[in-house]
Copies of this chain bind each other. A is one copy, B any other.
């Protein structure tokens, strides 16, 4: 039996086969969370003029001395510049965001002056250039202000708008179909009979996929029969770019997803990887469609969706950063040695003596969805790893790693 793929290599395979989606134009007010398809450039210098960073008086630093009294010859407010030349030895009242008159080079904050109608006494020394944001000091006209492949976060939406991009080109959102499988799955509103479980995974998976930028299509639960799975998968393939099944991928006789996919002409790139929980994970492609076959266990399903579906969706949308960052953070409690698989550990960030640490959530086993739901971060440990003492580091999955 070939050795199972480590997590990192499985992710590499998924990313290598992610189909790239096309771009669409969206208004800036609806672009949040989208991946930008083209660079956005500055249509003018930023700041667009020498801009006052404070309320106070604008003057030539050479005219400023502690105790000096200067005539105030006018006012510069945001949107209303002082239009005349600034006479030698004079100052203008200026407000935050206003144009600094070209003859002035500095702003003395209002807290450091006394204003008496049309004159002003200075109470503090003035460093040339102080409190003036120079035109173009942040970016020059034509420079890239938001790069293609980045996700449009709040701050980037603001930058895009500041440079006049009322509409932006972004990757269209991937359509992701969620296909739960299994005879034992009953509706959330049903009272499960013996051996039955509720159709709960779809809600967790839909939210993970939505966070990855997908439009989620909910498909009915497919029963454990080859014909029904075939029908469900065919329908999902017609509807969606990504098909996320849940259940039916373990080693047993009722694990019908892989055969159904093969019958539909899919190429199965891996089925089972070196991960705990989530070993039965399956990854396949059919033409430009992608299938992630998640295990039915809720923790396995959520872990695999987080570690593989989020990067997949990012890659489909042309994101520059598609891999999570693995960064060592000290453990607040010890962990036992790992077994033959890479292990995913539910974590909560805490502080220990003021420093960031992570606390492993106590679980009743790797299928304990209730414990998993209390975690906010995930850690990854390699197979065959030694026990870790408190204070030793565990690799934490930092996602999204925005470029």
Contacts and interface: CB of A to CB of B under 8 A. Distances in A.
Interface in A244-259: 247, 250-255
Interface stretch (A18-26, A229-237, A321-329): A321-329
A402 interface: yes
A199 interface: yes
Interface stretch (A84-92, A118-126, A202-210): A202-210
A393 interface: yes
A99 B192 CA distance: 13
Contacts of A154: 203-205, 207-208, 211, 302
Given A158-B204, A297-B96, A251 B166 contact: no
Contacts of A96: 250, 252, 295-297
Interface stretch (A59-67, A181-189, A263-271): A181-189
B372 A251 contact: no
B199 A161 contact: yes
Given A328-B354, A376-B402, A79 B182 contact: yes
A97 B197 contact: yes
Interface of A: 28-29, 32, 44, 46-49, 53-55, 76-81, 93, 95-99, 109-111, 133, 137-139, 145-146, 153-166, 182-185, 188-189, 191-192, 194-208, 210-211, 218, 224, 247, 250-255, 295-298, 302, 325-329, 348-351, 354-357, 364-365, 367-373, 375-376, 393, 395-396, 398, 400-402
24 contacts: A53-B297, A53-B367, A78-B184, A78-B197, A78-B224, A79-B183, A79-B224, A81-B194, A93-B253, A98-B184, A98-B195, A137-B365, A138-B368, A138-B371, A154-B205, A155-B302, A155-B369, A156-B373, A158-B302, A158-B373, A161-B202, A328-B351, A328-B354, A356-B398
Given A158-B201, A328-B356, A354-B393, 10 more contacts: A78-B197, A96-B250, A97-B296, A153-B207, A154-B204, A155-B204, A161-B200, A327-B356, A329-B356, A349-B401
